[in-house]
Amino acid sequence: MIRADTIIRILRIVFYVTLALSSFAALACIGIFFVAVKDLPRVPEPLIRIIETPPTEIYAATGEKIMVIGGREYIPLSRVSQHFIQAVVATEDHRFWEHHGIDKVRTLKALWITFFTPGKVQGASTITQQLSKNLFFSFKRKYMRKFRELLVAIQIESQYRKSEILEAYINQIPIGVGAHGIEQGARTFFGKPASELTLAESALLAGLPKSPTRYNPYLHYDRAKKRQWIVLLRMVAVGYITQEMADSASHAELNLQKLPARARTGSYFLDIVVKTLEERYGPEIVHHGGLKVTTTIDPQLQSGAIESLQKGLIELEKMMGVYTQTIDSTTAMITHPQGALVAVETNSGAIKALVGGSDYSETEYNRAVQNNRLPGSGFKPFLYYAALEKLDINPATVFVDQAVTIPVIGAEDWSPRNFGLKHEGPMVLKRALMKSVNSVAAQLVEKTDPEKVIRTARRSGIKSHLEPVYSVALGTSGVSPLEMASSFATFATGGVKHETFWISRVEDALGRVLEEHIVSGKRSLDASFVYQVVDMMRGIVDEGTGSIVRRLGFDLPAAGKTGTTDGYYDAWFTGFTPTLSTSVWVGYDKGEGLWDTRGTGITGGRGAAPIWADFMIKATDGEPHREFVIPSDIRFEKIDPITGYKANDSTLNPMRIALREGQNVYENIVGDETIDDSQTGLPQWLR
């Protein structure tokens, strides 16, 4: 039996300890309170100040707004759908209208769960606390931060009416895909103002702030729908709606907007625009300065480019037999080929469409700009131009397609091979380019000099580093699709080079001009030599390695060049009409070649040219038939593509070539099979 004095002693200890602890706790609370208050942030007055950041707006060349950075569209509570207000309150803080910043009952419940349910952490932040956190604090989990957030919430409750607090809250919550605040959210996701949101739409949007990425309906529609259902159930529980209304709303169809203006999805182009702006003006001005930026992009061409590239990559995968295998309920990791497409307006250098990969949401790496992949034979037009300019040759000059070995000082001899590993003997230059014959290209670069080829590429617009080796003429230095499209545009304009650009005008929020692009072309290549190359490149599209373009139905005058690298790692097609130059690249990001199901390598003609054709058919729809400008000193002759002699009635498959003033082709007067080199206009070194 415990004696009374023992109990008294215990009671005494408990009493004094409790007294001491309470006093200590009280003092500690007072101390912490004053410490916390000391650095507590000032609450702005009025709370509307939160929307003062002006947005930076980016426009397409057509005037369509394509992106908004920062900024808020503040709207009063009266212009927000009642459904949304109820959905937010029911989901986030159903006792919002009753408490004074802290929901004590919910907090006690949360504490109980956090402390006594292993592995569970329950939150109990009220709308005011969330507003306090969003406006002033970082998202680091610290007790002092939480306490300060609580104090600011209490102050906000004392300083503002409930309606003002809720108004501020719904105007700043992150909804997802770049939208902040309900007005932007409603317009971004449903293309309507917040006042017109239905119950289903409200429930969907009210569920997003918890995790805008995780519940992004564009990427995870099912998750977003589940979250919508939870919101609807909360509304039923709080008594805002009936179960029937919730059921009906959950089955209602959601008409999500296509390609939201604020979304980053599919915006490889916007990436380079924002990057350029940040480099020129600094991130502060871009994100907080409220710029009005007019770009060069044509939304119709851009969506056509995305569509063509995605469609082309699907076709390519089919050709290659790439599909996602499901083995024992587990999905095998399959890598997919990638692609890029850039379209440049030839007479200005303006980028009209740019796609840097198959899907921006999966990979943000911009292959159109950042990728330096080997262009292969796609580089040959620069070689042919350099050769025409330097050597005394013309498109009718005969070369012999044969095995060649070129000695290289200080290195191994260079022995390039043709793609088909076959040689066809004599042929004229135009035919050699049309068939992309490497042995002829090798002979040309040996006589022309790699440095001269590089200078031509530079004059055309190639900026990447190019190795001064013979093989540079066969595209063994990496370039980007943007460079290819831009440099081929110089051929399209008859040798006038325009600097590529994507921003045409920048203004501040008050409309004062900060910069405007001046479209200036410089003659960098000779018009007549250019025309001869363009004419040869037309042959590629009409009858050569790129003739699939014609078979697919593209019938406007066009010139282009295919490119394929060893091991079929890269497949290119870069081509142009007089108005638009487009480059398409397809390949794997790393270490894999493109092979079809039969084990045959996929060339630029098979892999990239169909994408080019599909895009160009859409891009030039309704355009008149426009020929390339023919310089006054150019004349045309029909020749025998093997002998280079002027064609006559007995010539099989005569070929049309472009000759400059003073250049001649000769008639085969003798009529026998002997080619008299001294009469064909061949330079001495070729005889």
Partner 1 sequence: MMDWYEPRDLKEWAKRLFAVRHLVLMLFILSVFISELRFDWFEQTVGSYLVTTNSKRPESGAIWEIGHRTITARQTLDKIVTDRQFLQREARGATTFTQMVLNILPNKGVMLSSEHFRKIYLTLPQTIAHKIASPFEMLRLFSDGSWVRTYLEKAGDDLKIYLLNANNRVLKELEIPSDLIQYIERVDMALTGTLEDLPSFENRIYSAAHFFTALRSLPQEDLRSVVSQPEMLLSMSGHIVRVGISDEAVSGFIELGFEIEDGTRRKVILLQGREWAVWTLRSYLEEKKGELNTNGTSQNNWM
Q: Give the active site residues.
A: 92, 377
Q: Is 288 in the site for partner 1 (CB under 8 A)?
A: yes
- 46-64 per-residue burial string, b: 16 or more CB within 10 A, e: under 16: ebeebbebbbbbbbbbeee
Closest to partner 1 by CB, 442 vs 525, is 525
Distance in Å, CB of 175 to partner 1, minimum: 18
Closest to partner 1 by CB, 348 vs 436, is 348
SS3 95: coil
- Judge residue 324's burial from the number of C-beta atoms within 10 Å of its C-beta, 0-12 exposed, 13-18 middle, 19 or more buried: exposed
Residue numbers 95-134 binding partner 1 by CB under 8 A: 99-102, 104-105, 134
Element (H, E) at 537: helix 527-542
Q: Is 629 in the site for partner 1 (CB under 8 A)?
A: no
Closest to partner 1 by CB, 41 vs 683, is 41
Q: Single out the residue of 425, 438, 432 nearest to residue 564, CA to CA.
A: 438
Q: Is 53 in the site for partner 1 (CB under 8 A)?
A: yes
Distance in Å, CB of 36 to partner 1, minimum: 10
Closest to partner 1 by CB, 517 vs 618, is 517
Pair 444, 384: CB distance under 8 Å: yes
Distance in Å, CB of 43 to partner 1, minimum: 6
User: 347 is written with which tokens?
Assistant: 């007479």
Closest to partner 1 by CB, 172 vs 486, is 172
Pair 517, 504: CB distance under 8 Å: yes
SS3 264: coil
Judged by CB under 8 A, the residue of 48, 77, 113, 154 near partner 1 is 154
How far apart are the C-alpha atoms of 413 and 271, rounded to whole Å? 44
Residue type, 664: N
Q: Is 62 in the site for partner 1 (CB under 8 A)?
A: no
Closest to partner 1 by CB, 172 vs 643, is 172
Judged by CB under 8 A, the residue of 31, 41, 321, 468 near partner 1 is 41
**Alpha helices for 435-513 (secondary structure H):** 438-448, 450-460, 481-492
Residue numbers 347-406 binding partner 1 by CB under 8 A: 348
Residue numbers 209-238 binding partner 1 by CB under 8 A: none
Torsion of CA 455, 429, 580, 631, to 10 degrees: 90
Query: Of the ranges 278-286, 465-473, 549-557, 659-667, which one interacts with partner 1 (CB under 8 A)?
Result: 278-286
Judged by CB under 8 A, the residue of 85, 135, 474, 642 near partner 1 is 135
Distance in Å, CB of 415 to partner 1, minimum: 46
Pair 366, 271: CB distance under 8 Å: yes
Q: Strand 570-576 and strand 580-587: pairing? A: antiparallel
Q: Is 244 in the site for partner 1 (CB under 8 A)?
A: no
Judged by CB under 8 A, the residue of 222, 244, 253, 284 near partner 1 is 284
Q: Is 621 in the site for partner 1 (CB under 8 A)?
A: no
How far apart are the C-alpha atoms of 539 and 346, rounded to whole Å? 20
Q: Single out the residue of 407, 405, 439 nearest to residue 422, CA to CA.
A: 439
Binding site for partner 1 (CB under 8 A): 4-5, 7-8, 11-12, 33, 37, 39-45, 49-50, 52-54, 99-102, 104-105, 134-138, 151-152, 154-155, 157-159, 281-282, 284-285, 287-291, 348, 504, 508, 512-514, 516-521
